[in-house]
A and B are shown apart, each in its own frame.
Chain A
Amino acid sequence: MSREAQVDITRLIAGALSIVTFSIVVLVVMPYFLTKSSTVPAKPAPYTSAQQTGRSVYIANGCIYCHSQQPRDPSIAPDQKRGWGRPSVPADYVHDQPHLLGTMRTGPDLFNIAVRQPSRDWHLGHLYQPRAYTAQSIMPAYPFLFDVKKGPAEPGERVVLLPPGTAPAGTRVVARAEAEALVDYLLSLDHTYPVRPPSSARGTP
């Protein structure tokens, strides 16, 4: 075993470890302390248990793969003009675990969907069949979040109001608990409260 190769190995292990440690410190630990030290703001309000359940339905069905939750600055993109809301700030996400910022906009940003679409019926119907509302939409339908039943409604049942012809004739569509919870969560997505204007250190170099 040559001494030279031994030195190489030491150099390799020490170098590799210090490089990865450096990147952990800069990109994981520093953001942790920077965001941890900020006091918890009054807004947004913490999620209710129903909203939290809905959030897990959102995660389980991968809504994040098509919808972002991070409106950008008007200097970058016309997100605000599309009605997606003001640029978001770190404090908006203080209760989010896991974060759902997203990296795709196959569909629109949802950070303020509750403001654009405040109707529970619209959301339930849209989840059952998006193309009944936007003919060109490529959003998946979620029939497995609903029960299709025959006959008149039973007491206490929430029948989804749908555009005519969406459900088979003579049936009624009833939202399952997951669908209701998911809509609870979507209706909580309202980040229109005022915040301090983002500093120049925001992510817009």
Chain B
Amino acid sequence: MSFTVGLLVVTFLASLAGLGLFIWSMASGLFGPESAASRVIFGAKEIGLAEEPAAENLGQQNELQETMNRTGHTGEFAVLTEAEVDERLAQDASGKWPVLLCIGFAVAWLVLASVFGLISSIKLHAPDWLADQAWLTFGRIRPAHLNAVGYGWCSLAAFGVSLWLMPRLLRTPLVGGKTAAAGATLWGLGVTAGVTAILTGYSTGLEWLEFPWQCDVPMVIGGTLMGVSLLRTLRNRTVEHLYVSVWYIAAGLLWLPILITVANWPGIHFGVQQAAMNWWYGHNVLGLWFTPIGLAAIYYFIPKVLGKPIHSYNLSLVGFWTLAFFYSQVGGHHLIGGPVPGWIISLSIVQSMMMLVPVTAVAINQHRTSWGHLGALRYSPTLRFVVIGGMMYTLASVQGSLEALRVVNTVTHFTHFTVAHAHLGLYGFFSMVMFGSIYFMLPRVLDWEWPSRGLITAHFWLVIGGFAIYFVGLSIGGWLQGRAMLDASRPFIDSVVITKPYLLVRTIGGSLMTLGHLVFALHVGLMLTRRGAARRGPTLLRTRSYTPSLPTVAIGGTVA
């Protein structure tokens, strides 16, 4: 015991020393002037101008702008110059096809994954439903759900958002759009093959790594191709400073192929070592892939919609490096109490607690940037999804850190509580941020407005309401399940029976979420097929031909 405690203390002190060193180096200005870097995402005089391509009409755009002016924001802005507008149009257009390919596939996977998830959920309280077909059995449809969500919806949305953001962040058109499009296609094919393999009984049996390695090969190649296109774009940059989102995206794209390759290498992992590797991967795919891309989007869209630079650029960099370092070692907390060496567990618990550092950094930054402008959430669909996603990130991370503590872990390990927590992260945080990003992005990519404000509202309330029901219900059920399992005087079946009403609640929440996704998919479909009215002509970019009823946006006439 004392050995373990010693290890805990040493790891903790070492981590703390590293953090101190890092903050010192930043305070000494080793990272350059911060204010300049945080302004990179704006045009020369754009700060103070709210932007929301998904706003329904100019009236709404103006009301959004007014919330910014009302809350003491300077409001002294001009707008983009003609040259800046042309430049940004070129950036948005440069990634059109790979972005559309990624988002199109992603939305299709979202719908399919939701259906898989709903079937799995129903099966847990109606176990004899659809029991006759092997491919529909719970043990296949559940991993099909997880992989379709993780590699289909989330990853492709992440690639799409990265391919669109990077040209904007680096102020240069995307290089190698065709390579990226080929990469997206390969990735999509790999996921399709992988999910098919799971449903037909060819899973590898490792959570998060169920795809046979043959399906991972096209994914790694595809991911690398998209990464190469983005790294080449990085070399062509015209900006003086790298915005924090660039750090997150570039690192995420670098990490992902490494993670997949190491984890899926056939024939070397075995037994307990494989279990350690399994959760090294399982947590790193969240921490070093989805989280960086989600945070990159948060760091771009909140300031961009509000027209206000982030609170502290340096703090966001502290967040970046601490996230990378601490998050990459937390995986072992999935094996607490398991037959793995104690130091792996100790390390993971310490680093899980240290994760509070990057999480606090993001929370402070997000809070200080959007505070006072929450009224803007009423007018901006992007902001709604992204800000709520950001809040869920804080919640999910704090909850995750607490779950690593032994007192909590003893109850929640092996229960539905963990499943609810996983959804708080990948759905509450990541998927919400992706929804918001897509609402901002697609009008710019397609030169077309969202056809219906009502569908956006319906999507929002269905997924928020559904998810609230899902999360609260399943967390309570999971906690009760864990308590029942720890009580040796109660038979095991008690821990099953006690969850049944909550599993039903989860199905209700999940149905609403699925319905929301159908609404969203329908809306994206309408947009792709150019249904609905082109309300303001080709996007908001050039509004000169309009005579808006309110004067705010009319100044200069360009909102980009």
Contact = CB atoms under 8 A, between A and B. Distances in A.
Interface string A141-158: 111100000000000000
Given A5-B242, A60-B201, A99-B275, A87 B339 contact: yes
A90 interface: yes
Contacts of A102: 414
B322 to A, nearest CB: 10
Interface in B284-336: 284, 288, 321, 324-325, 328-329, 331-332, 334-336
B337 A140 contact: no
B338 A23 contact: no
Contacts of B414: 68, 102-105
Interface in B346-377: 346-347, 349
Interface in B262-279: 262, 268-278
B265 to A, nearest CB: 10
B406 interface: yes
B4 A205 contact: yes
Interface stretch (B53-61, B129-137, B520-528): B129-137
A40 B134 CA distance: 37
Contact of B345 (A81, A98, A139, A203): A203
A203 B344 contact: yes
Contacts of B408: none
A140 B126 CA distance: 9
Given A65-B143, A200-B1, A12 B247 contact: yes
A19 B341 contact: no
Interface in A98-114: 98-108
B276 A31 contact: yes
Interface residues of B, number: 99
Given A136-B496, A203-B337, A141 B203 contact: no
A103 B417 CA distance: 12
Interface residues of A, number: 82
B328 A77 contact: no
A161 to B, nearest CB: 21
B203 A205 contact: no
Contact of B142 (A36, A62, A88): A62
Contact of A143 (B132, B280, B344): B132
Contacts of A90: 271-272, 339-341
A118 B138 CA distance: 25
A93 B340 CA distance: 11
Given A12-B247, A22-B328, A205 B349 contact: yes
A49 interface: no
Chain B facing A: main interface SS: helix
Given A27-B331, A200-B4, A64 B347 contact: no
Contacts of B339: 70, 87-90, 92-93, 101, 198, 202-203
Contact of A203 (B5, B255, B329, B335): B335
A122 B406 CA distance: 37
A196 interface: no
A31 B273 contact: yes
A8 B242 contact: yes
Given A97-B271, A201-B342, A205-B4, A141 B128 contact: yes
A137 interface: yes
Contacts of B269: 28, 32, 97-98
A177 interface: no
A34 B133 CA distance: 43
A167 to B, nearest CB: 14
Contact of A144 (B132, B250, B493): B132
A45 interface: no
B137 A203 contact: no
Contacts of A100: 205
A205 B406 contact: yes
B488 A99 contact: no
Contact of B204 (A5, A17, A98): A98
A137 B127 CA distance: 9
B262 A24 contact: yes
Given A203-B342, A205-B349, A141 B131 contact: yes
A205 B342 contact: yes
Contacts of A108: 492
Contacts of B336: 203-204
A82 B492 contact: yes
Nearest to B255: A20
Given A23-B328, A99-B275, A101-B338, A141 B347 contact: no
A140 B138 contact: yes
Contacts of A31: 272-273, 276-277, 340-341, 344
A160 interface: no
B8 interface: yes
Contact of B127 (A17, A23, A27, A141): A141
Contact of B8 (A88, A96, A141, A205): A205
Interface string A161-205: 000000000000000000000000000000000000010111111
A2 interface: yes
B547 to A, nearest CB: 42
B73 interface: no
Given A98-B269, A104-B418, 15 more contacts: A17-B254, A20-B288, A24-B280, A27-B329, A59-B204, A66-B139, A96-B270, A97-B270, A99-B278, A104-B415, A104-B419, A105-B415, A142-B137, A200-B4, A205-B349
List 8 tightest A-B contacts by C-beta distance, closest first.
A62-B139, A59-B205, A78-B488, A60-B201, A23-B328, A93-B271, A105-B414, A27-B280
27 contacts: A1-B237, A4-B240, A5-B240, A5-B242, A8-B32, A9-B242, A13-B250, A13-B254, A19-B328, A20-B328, A27-B331, A27-B332, A31-B276, A34-B273, A60-B140, A61-B139, A77-B410, A98-B206, A98-B269, A101-B339, A106-B124, A131-B127, A131-B128, A136-B493, A138-B503, A139-B127, A204-B337
Interface of A: 1-2, 4-5, 8-9, 12-13, 15-17, 19-20, 22-24, 26-28, 31-32, 34-36, 58-66, 68, 70, 72-73, 76-78, 81-82, 87-90, 92-108, 130-131, 134, 136-144, 198, 200-205
